[in-house]
Amino acid sequence: MKNRAVPDPRITEAFEAFGSTATDMLKSVSGLSVPLPALTELQSDYLRQASELWNKSVNFGSSNGEGAKAPIPDRRFAAPEWQSDPASSFAAQLYLLNARTLQKLADAVEGDEKPRQRLRFAVQQWVAAASPANYLATNPEALRKAVATQGESLKEGLAHLVNDLRQGHMSQTDESLFEVGRNVATTEGDVVFENELFQLLEYKPLTAKVHARPLLMVPPCINKYYILDLQPSNSLIRYAVAEGHRVFVVSWRNADASMAHMTWDDYIETGAIQAIELVQEITGAETINTLGFCVGGTILATALSVLARRGVQPAESMTLLTTFLDFENTGVLDLFVDEAMVKMRELTIGPDSPTKGGLLKGQELAGTFSSLRPNDLVWNYVVGNYLKGETPPAFDLLYWNSDSTNLPGPMYCWYLRHTYHENNLVKPGTAVVCGEAVDFGELDLPVYVYGSREDHIVPWDAAYRNLAALSGNQGRTRFVLGASGHIAGVINPPAAKKRSHWIGNGTAKAPATAQAWLEKATEHAGSWWPDWSAWLARNAGPMVAAPKRPGSRQYPPIEAAPGRYVKQKA
């Protein structure tokens, strides 16, 4: 008969106290409650699993097979030190049990949906922060390294912490290895126009002939444009240029105090609409192809809707990459938005503030997005940078991610209220922009809609809802789904031969739901870029001789790309 240890009474009491405390915490939030049968079952399961864990712990390494040396199924505890040390192994497994129990309690809570979602999010943050891997005293890897290096790792970790405090954000990569214009944002081009809101970049052709119809890219204003031009090997801008397109890109200015009054209308009229008209003037093209990424896609579609109300149709086609038009399902970001939150913003940095404006700081936005994946984007770097004294590896995408941007308060407040909170843009005639009632149904042009399957910022089924919002294009919408997330799914060059993408069955009428579309779609290996390139070429007109110089007589080059605006820090 196997020797089974009996749990120490003090341990049992601690387990029961944890269950009681966690339950009280969950029941006290916003009047939410846990049904008694679910609560009883969770407490019973918790005590049973805790007792089993204790028994395995006291038999750690014994010859009867009850030891706890099996790998712990969590990459935070994958190092050998977590398996070889009894106390560390027990701490890690007890933490994981507590985390699972808290998450099940949060899922079992009954009440209004938004408070329940906020509770689950709060539990996620607490669980992520409470990991024993995050603290020097309970992280055997960090302790071993400190001993092995005679304290040098702790010295380096402190230096990293001081540096991050000085720069105002946690380092996710070795930022000293990157410089905008030197080894990121290097595709050759020129600034051919600038105003107080953006610079217009035109890129040097890489082919002897180009399509007659140019391409204008509108990136998100909450980040810098060079996510589309990181390195030559993964640059969507360079790829489009190499495919024979005359490419223009909007480089938004990093908002400072002089822009604190700017509104959503400014970003539409003085931003996207002016950029569209400039590309037409410079190239002489009657219509142009357009692309919007994330918020840039929302801005682009809004601008084209405003122009449509004015009787102007300047776009031959529109590409939307991980873009919201319909904000009905915004995923976890919806947790942060309600009337009280929106009103608070309007009173502090929006049109109702004492100064009639202000700035939303880039670090606040960056912190919000990092909190959506706290283990990967926060605590992973706390452990590596500070506890182990390691310099994070060079990664161009994470360098871009750390290069945050400010937003004008009035512009941000309008966007927050009319999209995330009230979803007005998708309601025909409800939102008034630049004096025009927005109606996406009036956009009669081919549209390429791309969504990423694991996107936590623009859920792919929300991107699919764009098809219904663009009801006026008479079925000329192509939806493509890529693997991975919001950024990695988009920035997926063909040469990398990574991931996959799904394409619909080609029927004229798109299925009513995203899931119905996916059930009939076909998976293809590799990047979606070639599919988009073939689609874009069909809307780009004949090939003509490439221009010999950038800009035009009226709009001569101002400076070389990437320009000054993208180098401004938040």
Q: How far apart are CA 208 and CA 547, in angstroms?
A: 9
Residue-wise DSSP of 423-435: --TTSTTTSEETT
> What token pair was written down for 365?
């936005």
Q: How far apart are CA 118 and CA 106, in angstroms?
A: 10
Length of the chain: 570
Catalytic residue among 221, 294, 413, 434: 294
Tell me whether residue 413 is one of the annotated catalytic residues.
no
Q: Are 132 and 139 in contact (CB under 8 A)?
A: yes
Q: Where are the beta strands (DSSP E) in 67-212?
A: 189-194, 198-203, 209-211
Q: How far apart are CA 44 and CA 295, in angstroms?
A: 47
Burial class (CB in 10 A: 0-12, 13-18, 19+), 317: buried
> What token pair was written down for 255?
């908002």
Helix ranges (H only) for 284-326 are 295-309
One-letter identity of residue 495: A
In the block, tokens 């994330």 appear at 294
Helix ranges (H only) for 130-193 are 140-148, 152-167
One-letter identity of residue 173: T
Q: How far apart are CA 217 and CA 197, in angstroms?
A: 16
Give the containing element (helix H, strand E) for 320.
Answer: strand 315-321
One-letter identity of residue 31: G
Q: How far apart are CA 513 and CA 417, in angstroms?
A: 26
One-letter identity of residue 445: L
Residue 355 contacts by C-beta under 8 Å, 6 or more apart in sequence?
Answer: 260
Q: Are 306 and 268 in contact (CB under 8 A)?
A: yes
Terminal-residue alpha carbon distance, the chain: 67
Helix ranges (H only) for 416-506 are 460-464, 466-469
Query: In Å, how far from its chain's centre is CA 73?
Result: 27
Q: Are 254 and 221 in contact (CB under 8 A)?
A: no
In the block, tokens 């005639």 appear at 429
253: region left, alpha or beta (phi > 0 left; psi from -120 to 50 alpha): beta
Residues acting as catalytic residues:
294
